[in-house]
Amino acid sequence: MTRNRYREVTQSNWYGTVQVLFAFITLVTVSSFFLLPGYWYLWLMIIFGGLALLVAWHAKNLAYLCPRCGEVFKVSRFEDFISPNGVNKKYLRCPRCGRQAWADILRIKE
């Protein structure tokens, strides 16, 4: 992957991400009041469906930069879901050098 396809994550990108997360948390909270007493299975479907959409969006739109060798790489949805996150970093194994490190997050250029 060429690094030219990606750019650093900007503050406006973080605001957009916070807005999406706020909308998801609001949906979960409001739907819990109405659905948990009688339709808990529907509420769980909303939660898992929303999480799947968030992880799919994250894996599709972001790549990572290895701090050791400079490799730019993407990860699968599953790996994106289970790997630990920092504020601007994600703990991943680089496919080129094979070392685990806190990789910098890069965003696809639009």
pLDDT (tens digit, 9 = 90+) per residue, 79-91?
A: 999 999 887 899 9
SS3 85: strand
Query: CB neighbours (10 Å) of residue 60?
Result: 11
**HSE of 59 in the Cβ direction (CA atoms, 13 Å)?**
15
The full length of the chain comes to 110
pLDDT (tens digit, 9 = 90+) per residue, 45-97?
A: 999 999 999 899 888 888 999 999 999 999 999 999 999 988 789 999 999 99
Q: List CB contacts of 109: < 8 A, sequence separation 6 or more.
A: 5, 6, 7
pTM for this model (two decimals): 0.75
